[in-house]
Amino acid sequence: MANPEHMEIQQDIENYKTTAGKVSLVDREAKQHMEDYSAGVRHYDKEEYELAIDFLERALKGYYSEDEDCQIMCEGPQRFEEHEYLEYKAGLYEAIADHYMQVLACKHDCVRELATRSGRISPIENFLPLHYDYLQFAYYRVGDYVKALECAKSYLLFHPDDEDVLENAGYYEGLLEGTMDPDTIKPRKNYWNRYGARQDEHSVPSSISSEPEDGPRLSLAKKPMPKPDRELKEGGPLLYSDVKFVYNSQQLNGTQRVLLDNVISEEQCRELHRVASGIMLAGDGYRGKTSPHTPNERFEGATVLKALKYGYEGRVPLKSARLFYDISEKARRIVESYFMLNSTLYFSYTHLVCRTALSGQQERRNDLSHPIHADNCLLDPEANECWKEPPAYTFRDYSALLYMNADFEGGEFIFTEMDAKTVTASIKPKCGRMISFSSGGENPHGVKAVTKGQRCAVALWFTLDPLYRELERIQADEVIAMLDQEHLGPSEMNINPKDEL
C-alpha cells in the first residue's frame, strides 16, 4: 500500500493469491479517513462530483473524530524526551511546565500523524484544507452554491489570502444574491471553534485553475507540480559543435528538460554496444534480479569501473572501455553547461543498461519496461505527491539518458503528469540522442514496453552535493590517471578525467 508502483511486490501478491486460493487481503495499517479522502479525490478527478462529495465529507468526519481521539490521548502521562528519566530532577513547577510542553507537542503532532499515509514518513501537504478546496468546487458543480460558499469560507480560514478561492467565494456570493443574504453563510465551526485557529503547518495554497463556460475562473483544488528548490535556468552552451539541440522544456511540456541529438557518433554507438556485450551482467544494480521492472524483459547492466577493469585486464579493448568513461564525462559537462548550474555537477551513478524483450511473452502485454517514477522521490499518484524520503535517492539533482541504438520495437521514453497516466512527452530513442532533466517530482517518467529486440543506453544520475559522489567514479578517475601516467594514450576527446572539486 505504501509503494503501489512496486512491480515485484505486486507479482508476489498475485502468486500468494494463486497459492492460497480465493483470499481477501486487508490492509491492517489503513486509516479510514485517508482511504475516504483518496476515494473522494479519485471520483473528483473523474468528474463524479456527487460521489466525491460523499467520500470527502465522510473523510472530514473521520478526520475530526481521529483528531479528537489523538488530542485526548495526549492528555495522559508523557515521557520527558530531553531528560534521562531516572536522573530527571525538577521542582514541582518545572515538572508541571515540562509535562504540559510535552502535551502541547503531542497535540501539535496530531496534525502530522493524521495527514501521513501508512508506510510514509512525510505528511500530505495542506491535507485538511484540501478537503474544503475539493468540496467547494464539487458543490458548485452539483449546483449547491450554499455549501460551495460554506466550504470556500472554511478553506479561507486556513489561507485567507488565497486569491483563487477568494475569487470563487465572491462568485458564489453573486450566484446567491436575490435568494438569500450571503453574509449569513459562515465557515464550518466544528474544527475551528473546537481547537482554535490552529494552522496546518504543511500548507500549500491551491493554485491551478480552470475557466468554466458559465462562470469566472474557479479553483479546481489541484496542487501545482513540485518544483526544484533552486533557481531554474536553461539554455546554456552545449560546448560541442556536433551536438544538436532538439527541444527545450517548453517544447517538452515540462520543467528543466532538454532533448539533444548527435551527442555521440554512429561509430561510437557501435563500439559502445560491442563493449556492452562483453561486460554486462544480468540484473546488475538490482542484486542480480534479471527482470527487476517487468517479467517480460531481461535487464543487463555494467558500471564504468567494471568497463575499465575489463579493459585493463584485456577482456575488452581498452580504447572501447575508456570510451564509456569519456562519453559519460562529455554528457556531464553538457548537462552542467546547458542548465547553467552555478556549482559543479558530480556523478551520482553511471550505468550502461540494456533491456531485451523475452520471446513468447509479448502477446497482450500491457505493462511498462520501467514503471512511471521520479529519480529522487517516491511518486504517489493518488496523493499527487512525490515523497522526498528514503528509500528514494534524495540527493540526485539531474538525470540523463544517452541512447545507443534504435533497432528495436517499443521502448519509448515518456514524461507524465503526477498522476503517472497523462503523457506529456514521448521520445523515441536513437543512436546519439540524449534526454536530460531535473530528477524531482516535477519530472515523472518511465519507459514503454520493449516488445522486440534490445534497447541500450547509458543512464546517468548527477548530484550537486559532493558528499554523494559516485564511489566507483572516483575509483575510475584513479584508473584513468594511472593509465595516463603509463602513457597508454590520452583521451581522444581531450576531457579532464578528474571531476572538479
Q: Average of pLDDT values for 236-244?
A: 96
pLDDT score recorded for residue 177: 87
Q: Average of pLDDT values for 126-143?
A: 92
Residue of 51 and 191 predicted with greater confidence: 51
Q: Average of pLDDT values for 395-407?
A: 96
pLDDT score recorded for residue 48: 93
Residue 199 predicted with pLDDT over 70: no
- CA distances from residue 250 to 124, 218, 235, 256 in whole angstroms, order as listed: 28, 25, 12, 9
**Cβ contacts of residue 89 below 8 Å, gap of 6+?**
none
3-state secondary structure 97-147: HHHHHHHHHHHHHHHHHHCCCCCCCCCCCCHHHHHHHHHHHHHHHCCCHHH
Residue 367 predicted with pLDDT over 80: yes
Burial 326-348 (b: 16+ CB within 10 A, else e): bbbbbbbebbbebbebeeebbbb
pTM of the model: 0.64
Residue 400 to residue 459: CA distance in whole angstroms: 6
Lowest mean pLDDT among 318-332, 398-412, 481-495: 481-495
355, 455, 469, 473: the active-site residue: 455
Lowest mean pLDDT among 34-43, 185-194, 353-362, 401-410: 185-194
Q: Assess whether the previous peptide bond of 390 is cis (omega < 30° from 0).
A: no
Residue 112 known to be catalytic = no
Residue of 15 and 419 predicted with greater confidence: 419
State the average pLDDT for the chain. Answer: 83
Q: Average of pLDDT values for 417-443?
A: 95
Q: What are φ and ψ of residue 130, in 5° steps?
A: -60, -30
Q: Average of pLDDT values for 27-53?
A: 89
Residue of 19 and 172 predicted with greater confidence: 172
Which residues lie across from 297 on neighbouring strands? 357
pLDDT score recorded for residue 471: 92
Residue 153 predicted with pLDDT over 80: yes
Half-sphere exposure of 461 (CA within 13 A, CB side): 19
- Please tell me which of 280-289, 390-399, 488-497 the model is most confident about, judged by mean pLDDT: 390-399
Termini Cα distance of the chain: 42
pLDDT score recorded for residue 209: 38
Radius of gyration from C-alpha coordinates of the chain: 27
pLDDT score recorded for residue 197: 42
Question: The cell 546488475 sits on which residue?
Answer: 284
pLDDT score recorded for residue 26: 72
pLDDT score recorded for residue 91: 77
Contact 143/100 with Cβ under 8 angstroms? no
Query: Within the chain, what is the greatest distance between any pair of CA atoms?
Result: 91
Q: Average of pLDDT values for 149-164?
A: 92
Closest CA to 454 of 404, 402, 413: 404
Q: Average of pLDDT values for 266-279?
A: 93
> What are the pLDDT digits (tens) for 81-129?
555 555 666 778 877 887 788 888 888 888 888 988 877 777 888 889 9
Q: Average of pLDDT values for 171-200?
A: 73
Residue 23 predicted with pLDDT over 50: yes
pLDDT score recorded for residue 208: 31
pLDDT score recorded for residue 51: 95
CA-angle at 358, arms to 355 and 360, nearest 5°: 160
pLDDT score recorded for residue 288: 74
Q: Average of pLDDT values for 326-339?
A: 96
- Please tell me which of 100-104, 476-480, 491-495 the model is most confident about, judged by mean pLDDT: 476-480
pLDDT score recorded for residue 82: 57
pLDDT score recorded for residue 84: 55
The fraction of the chain above a pLDDT of 70, given in percent, is: 81
Beta strand segments in 270-364, E: 281-282, 297-302, 346-357
Query: Quick one: cell of 316?
Result: 575488452
Residue 127 to residue 437: CA distance in whole angstroms: 29
pLDDT score recorded for residue 10: 66
**5 pLDDT band (50/70/90 cuts)?**
low
pLDDT score recorded for residue 108: 84
Q: Average of pLDDT values for 265-291?
A: 89
Q: Average of pLDDT values for 171-191?
A: 85
Q: Average of pLDDT values for 445-467?
A: 95
Q: Average of pLDDT values for 368-394?
A: 89
